[in-house]
Amino acid sequence: MAEQVNTMFDPSLNLEDLAWLRENWSGKLIVKGIQSASDAVDVLARGADALVVSNHGGRQLDRAPVPLKVLPEIRAAVGPEAQLILDSGIMSGGDIVAALAAGADFTLIGRAYLYGLMAGGRQGVDRALEILRTEMTLVMQLIGATSVAELGPEHLRNLAGVPNAAMRGAAAR
Ligand SMILES: Cc1cc2nc3c(=O)[nH]c(=O)nc-3n(C[C@H](O)[C@H](O)[C@H](O)COP(=O)(O)O)c2cc1C
């Protein structure tokens, strides 16, 4: 299985290939897997419309950088206008709030919705989203933020110790 999957990836792909893709694709071009400020700058310079700061859920490389931790330096490097999407490790509404505060425009979720899907199909996904929404609201109330637009680095200090398990318990009630 792993051998089959590996045939789908080309490890020699580089920034020049991205420039070629940009020339030949007029639709939105979003590059996933950005893990450093220098790569973010280089990829945007080749014409990408948005970046997904991601380690693909940490499933490929143990000890890959934690996206939430590298996000602030990437935001600082690319400026306020670049579209940054945070992916990997979003398991609670508090994680989403932290990502937005650290500079993400929005986040993706992978396993968080898949767990809901496996547990209850379509309804399970709806329930997973409802839990995330409830947790987000609760965390924002606790840190005194009234809208996602006002979330910024100043909130990160207050989010460092949010106990996610306790938040999940609160949402489940
Ligand atoms: C079953 C499964 C298959 C995946 N397949 C791919 C893939 O083919 N290409 C890819 O870029 N990411 C793939 N991912 C990673 C997701 O796109 C996403 O980056 C990751 O799940 C986000 O982390 P999270 O699960 O912690 O939210 C896969 C993830 C899962 C769980």
DSSP one-letter code for 60: S
Residue closest by Cα to atom 27 of ligand 1:
110
Domains of the chain in start order, with CATH, are 2-172 (3.20.20.70)
| Residue pLDDT, tens place only, 133-158 | 999 999 999 999 999 999 999 999 88
Instruction: Please work out whether the CB of residue 55 comes within 6 Å of at least one atom of ligand 1.
Output: no
On the question of pLDDT at 80 being above 80, the answer is: yes
Determine contact, residues 72/102, Cβ cutoff 8 Å: yes
- The amino acid sitting at 51 is L
CA angle centred on 94, ends 126 and 113, rounded to 5°: 30
The two three-digit tokens of residue 100, written as one number:
């937005």
Give the mean pLDDT of the chain: 92
CA distances from 54 to 23, 25, 57, 170 (A): 25, 23, 7, 28
Q: What distance separates the 2 farthest-apart alpha carbons in the chain? A: 52
Is the CB of residue 95 below 6 angstroms from any atom belonging to ligand 1? Answer: no
d(CA 140, CA 94): 8
DSSP state of 32: E
pLDDT of 164: 53
Task: Give which of 158, 136, 153 is closest to 101, Cα–Cα.
Answer: 153
The pTM (predicted TM-score) of the whole model is 0.91
Lookup: tokens for 124:
């399970």
pLDDT at 166 over 70: no
22 CB less than 6 Å from ligand 1? no
144: left (phi over 0), alpha (psi -120 to 50) or beta: left
Compute the C-alpha angle 80/27/82, nearest 5°: 5
